[in-house]
Homo-oligomer: A and B are copies of this chain.
Amino acid sequence: MANSPSGDSVLDRLVRILDAFDAGTPSLTVSALARRADVPRASAYRLVEELLRHGLLAREGGEVRLGLRLWELANRASSTLDLRRVAMPFMEDVNQVVRQNTQLAVLHDDEVLVLERLSRPGSVANQAYVAGRMPVHLTSMGLALLAFSPAPALEGYLERHGERMRSAHPDLRRELAHIRRTGYASLEGFIDTDTTGVSVPVLDRRGHALAVLAVVVPRGSNLLRPAVMALRTAARGISRGLGEIPPD
């Protein structure tokens, strides 16, 4: 609908415009936005005007940024809202007990999407940001989500990303079986090598991961085993809060 001569629709352009902003680039001039979003300048100016009028973008100095109205529309009926609401008190418990950054994530479009993160002063470094994406094959979150995916989803993922996966995990099948058996995944930090991520799935009644709960601990720390216990306890509480009783 409403296609431009180049064949992309208003919606295609809108998505590219919203996608041009991220945590490192929260605001842009309209020209820079047009370049980043690959939208002709004149169209970008018209579209930005309309987005400003609807509050989906907001002016900030000579630049524009995402508007609060967009945040409101996207958040108030989000499918993540229930999960986040149920998970938050349990995440706070883990955060209090383990005293390290605690995060909640899901598998989305073959990547790990971070839904929530509670940080602590003095926690070790951590590259996860709310609404940020992380690679499946380089995070304990990704491995735990994959290990507890339904078989067709796992096979589909491996078909699309098998090579990358196997280069990081030559013995992947055995590794995933181990994660399923022990109920958690741990992996040394891939950006900050001084840290280890520990992840436990939040299971549904069929034993598949709805989400993953993770903490990042200092590498070689004796916190790892206690953190697993805290995460497993909290993850079961979240499952129960969602009305799912995970199998033993």
Contacts and interface: CB of A to CB of B under 8 A. Distances in A.
Contacts of A89: 118-121
Nearest to A20: B77
A31 to B, nearest CB: 18
A127 interface: no
A128 to B, nearest CB: 12
B11 A73 contact: no
Q: How many copies make up the complex?
A: 2
B10 A77 contact: no
Interface residues on A, range: 35 or more
A96 to B, nearest CB: 8
Contacts of A11: 10, 14, 47, 50-51, 54
Interface of A: 1-2, 9-12, 14-15, 18-19, 21-23, 25-26, 43, 46-47, 50-51, 54-56, 58, 60, 65-81, 84-85, 88-89, 92, 95-96, 106, 108-109, 113, 118-121, 129-133
